[in-house]
Amino acid sequence: MQTMLGILLVIVATALGAQIEPLAATPFADAVPGTLQTLAVLAGGALLGPGRGALAMLGYLALGLVGVPVFHDWKALPPADFVNYFSAGYLIGFIPAAAFAGWAAQRWRSLLGLLLVMLLGHLIVLGIGAPVFAAWTSIELALERGLINLLPDMGIKSALGALLVYFWRVRRSTSTSSS
C-alpha cells in the first residue's frame, strides 16, 4: 500500500509540476516549456528506487495518453497526437531518467552525489527530448529552444532535487532511529 501511495504521489507531483514554469516570464521560456516536472521525476525516482520510479513515469504517460489532462497546460494527448508532439521525447525520457535517478541515488547518497544524480538525470531527459524535438523542427531550433533554453532551470531544479532527497532521507533516518 505504501509503495502504491508513493507512486501515485510522484504521478500527481509530476502532473502539478507540468503546470509550473518558473522561467515563463524570461527569454528562456520558448518552444519547450521549462516546467517543474523533472524535479518531481528525478526526486521521485531517487526516493522510490529505479523500478518504482520508472513505473510512476509509465503511469504518468499512460494517464496522459488515455485522456487524463496531466501534461503541460492540462493537456491530454491521445497516441496519434502524442507521436506528433514536439515534447514527446522529453516525456518519454522521464522513464529512463527516473530509473537512473533511483539506481544512482542508492549509490551516491551524499548531497554532492545527489546533485550529480539530478544533473545526469536531466541530461538523460534532454538527451532523448532534444533529438525528437529536432526531428520535428530543426537541429538549430532544438539546440536553441529545446536544450540551451532549458539549462538554467536544469541547474536550479537539480540543486532543489538533491536537497529535497537528501533532507528527506535525513529526516527519515532520524525518525526511524529515534523510534
Residue 146 cell numbers, joined: 529545446
Condensed to tens digits (0 to 9), the pLDDT of residues 107-125 reads 999 999 999 999 999 999 9
84: how many CB neighbours lie within 10 A of its CB? 9
Q: Looking at this protein, which amino acid is placed at residue 47?
A: L
pLDDT given for residue 31 in this prediction: 58
| Whether pTM exceeds 0.85 | yes
CA 89 to chain centre: 12
Q: How far apart are CA 6 and CA 19, in angstroms?
A: 20
C-alpha distances out from residue 26 to 34, 73, 158, 160, Å: 11, 18, 19, 20
In this prediction, what percent of the chain has a pLDDT beyond 90? Answer: 73
Supply the pLDDT for residue 153.
85
What CATH number has the domain spanning 2-166?
1.10.1760.20
**Given this model, what pLDDT does residue 28 score?**
45
- The stretch 76-81 carries a mean pLDDT of 93
